[in-house]
Amino acid sequence: MRSNDTAAEALQELADLIAISGGDPYRVRSYEKAARAVAGWPADLDSLDRNGLIAIPAVGAHTADKLLELRKTGHIAALEELHAQVPAGLRALLGIPGLGPKRAHQVYVELGISSMPQLLAALHDEQLRHLKGWGQISERNLARAIRQMQEVGGRMPLAVALDIAEDLVAQLAALPQVTRIDYAGSLRRMRDTIGDIDLLAAADEDPGSVMEHFCTMPLVDRVLAHGPTKSSVVTTKGVQVDLRVVPAAVWGAALQYFTGSKAHNIRIRELAVHAGLKLSEYGLFRVDDGQLLASADEADIYARLGLPWIPPTLREDRGEVEAALDDQLPDLVEVTDIAGDLHMHTDLTDGLAGLDDMVAAAARHGYRYCAITDHAPMMAMQRMTRDKALHQRSKLPELTRRHGITVLHGSELNIGADGSLDWDDQFLASFDVLVASVHSDFDQSREEMTKRLLAAIEHPYVNIIGHPTTRLLGRRPPIDFDVDAVFKAAARTHTALEINAFPDRLDINDDLVRRARDHGVVFAIDTDSHAVGHLDYIRYGVAVAQRGWVAADEVINTWPLKRLRRFLAKRRHCPPTH
Ligand code: DGT
Ligand code: CA
Ligand code: CA
Ligand code: ZN
């Protein structure tokens, strides 16, 4: 983990614990802001001296000293003190949307609740509605929020699992006995949430020592099983990791087997059986004489079954085996196909980095273009104005020259409860690109929500619908709307749907992407970056697109600038009819 992430986590925890213990809200906010700033800061924190730390926005002298203390001693004394005061289970309750630190403090002080089971019991007994400032509605909302959290179960977001897995893979790869190492399972298939992490290593000499090393790594909290070829551990963060060690000669068969999905493997094994073959994690064998046909290389196994290699992101038994048999596998979009990011924020609204830094970062990614899409005024907390937008626009030509990347001027509009948008149509027409998103009134009826989205899609100046379902993994369910009606309208009006790559959004998800494709919708894979480092999230958006069978040509931000501009300008000449 980057030292910035560790530090941000400590600051956020400090903020949470001060809030729960009823401390100064000003201090809470300032630690929260500092946590976000540190996480998004491009330079490695460990490389900065005290002045360098203070130069980070929202980090003052006081916070800088805390960060230095953390670096020197490995902990922050003030945080340790709070740990001793606040029951461990209480902080976990903060993760429940709608509870928040104030109410967590209240339920702890007034009802003695400091864990999820206690909270569920209090909900069951209808105790919460009687607390000051609550009532039946708050109680019902809390119950609903908890149900939503439980639906995600113990699964973690893809990005969290990938960070841990890449760290472990790098550590194990350093062992001389390990000749190959990779992650398999749902992680290799890049599902949006991951149950547990499956690692596969090849080692011909002393595999036991690889296991020994794995089970005693510093980030291991508990060992669930420790065997000669398979071990399972739980990390200090509560994540289960399985490691299997196999001989290099069966690497391909084992990788194929442990990548899954189970449903895909069942289909593949059926094919084998029909051909008089037997497939297992040890290889592909002929049934009659037991002859081994393939095992070292994954692609060989598919080839021996008469199939092209099937990309892991497709292995869900959603038609990929039939498509492979017919030689009709899609030519999937790849990260290297992305020519620009069309959804980026700056510190003019709620981003952390300035305009120049964001554009420079997009240029460093090798993009040919990017769009700056700061929030529009309807989100009142963003304090956007027409003048600010125009001033921002005036700086773009110079940035385009300086960084050698075309900077489009956009905005992320808010789709109001009635489907209306920010600003007047004349002003809207002056932007290069407009993203429109739902940011409020999530609880509308299906009819209202459908009408609302259709209104935005029908608006001739709206190019992209941002994070269309507004879901937040484990925190907010998707909004409810008539998916087919919305996708049909998007296809007809040439309005792209966003595949938002931000790790806790991944919105729309793979199933919806697939369904939108069937309607002929085109997509924009965007990061919704609020900091320089967020541009790297593009890989998660591309993974969702691949899982939805999307080819590069169906993604508007793979297109050359000229074609993109034609798409964006398409309906600008016909004035809105409302
Ligand atoms: P997850 O961990 O819930 O996100 O999903 P997976 O797909 O990683 O599932 P996991 O960890 O239970 O197993 C990893 C892979 O191992 C799975 O994708 C396919 C393979 N596998 C595990 N159990 C079976 C089984 O009973 N039959 C078959 N064919 N494959 C299995
Ligand atoms: Ca797994
Ligand atoms: Ca597993
Ligand atoms: Zn948004």
Task: Calculate what percentage of the chain has a pLDDT beyond 70.
Answer: 96
pLDDT at 411: 97
| Euclidean distance between CA atoms 21 and 106, whole angstroms | 10
What number is the average pLDDT over the span 288-308? 97
Greater confidence (571 vs 415) lies with 415
Nearest CA to ligand 1 atom 29: 262
- From the CA of 336, how far away is ligand 1's center (Å)? 29
Residue 91 has pLDDT above 90, yes or no: no
Q: How many CA atoms lie within 13 A of 417 on its CB side?
A: 6
Q: How many CB atoms lie within 10 A of CB 30?
A: 18
| Euclidean distance between CA atoms 578 and 576, whole angstroms | 6
Nearest CA to ligand 1 atom 18: 260
- From the CA of 200, how far away is ligand 1's center (Å)? 13
| Euclidean distance between CA atoms 190 and 518, whole angstroms | 22
Q: What dihedral do alpha carbons 566, 568, 573, 575 form, nearest 10°? A: 160
Determine if the peptide bond prior to 47 is cis (ω within 30°). Answer: no
185 lines ligand 1 (CB under 6 A): yes
Residue 151 has pLDDT above 70, yes or no: no
Nearest CA to ligand 1 atom 13: 185
- E-assigned strand segments in 439-501: 464-465, 496-500
Cβ atoms of 192 and 508 closer than 8 Å: no
CATH number corresponding to 335-573: 3.20.20.140
What topology is assigned to 3-152 in CATH?
A: DNA polymerase; domain 1 (1.10.150)
Residue type, 201: A
| Euclidean distance between CA atoms 283 and 304, whole angstroms | 11
Least confidently predicted of 49-63, 273-287, 291-305, 563-577: 563-577
Q: What is the pLDDT of residues 390-438, one digit of tens each?
A: 999 999 999 999 999 999 999 999 999 999 999 999 999 999 999 999 9
What number is the average pLDDT over the span 126-140? 89
Greater confidence (523 vs 221) lies with 523
Q: What is the pLDDT of residues 69-86, one digit of tens each?
A: 999 998 999 999 988 888
pTM: 0.80
Give the CA angle between residues 439, 443, 446 to the nearest 5°: 105
Nearest CA to ligand 1 atom 10: 185
- From the CA of 469, how far away is ligand 4's center (Å)? 11
May I ask the CATH class of domain 156-246?
Answer: alpha beta
168 lines ligand 1 (CB under 6 A): no
Distances (CA, A) of 529 to 101, 130, 405, 535, 578: 27, 42, 17, 6, 32
Residue 547 has pLDDT above 60, yes or no: yes
pLDDT at 517: 97
- From the CA of 7, how far away is ligand 4's center (Å)? 26
Nearest CA to ligand 1 atom 15: 258
Three-state secondary structure call for residue 252: helix
Give CATH superfamily name and number for 253-325.
DNA polymerase, thumb domain (3.30.210.10)
Residue 439 has pLDDT above 90, yes or no: yes
Write down the domain spans for the chain: 3-152, 156-246, 253-325, 335-573
pLDDT at 381: 63
Which ligand gives the minimal distance to the CA of 467?
Answer: 4
Taking the CA of residue 185 as reference, the ligand 1 atom at the shortest distance is 8
Q: What is the pLDDT of residues 247-289, one digit of tens each?
A: 999 999 999 999 999 999 999 999 999 999 999 999 999 999 9
Return mean pLDDT, the chain.
92
Q: Can you give the C-alpha Rg of the chain in angstroms?
A: 26
Transcribe 159-192 into DSSP letters: HHHHHHHHHHHHHHHTSTT-SEEEE-HHHHTT-S
Grade residue 1 by pLDDT with cuts at 50, 70 and 90: low
The token duo for 57 is: 């926005």
Residue 573 has pLDDT above 90, yes or no: no
Grade residue 366 by pLDDT with cuts at 50, 70 and 90: very high
Residue type, 291: Q
Which ligand gives the minimal distance to the CA of 232?
Answer: 3
261 lines ligand 1 (CB under 6 A): yes
121 CB-near residues (< 8 Å, 6+ apart): none
Cβ atoms of 537 and 527 closer than 8 Å: yes
Three-state secondary structure call for residue 378: coil
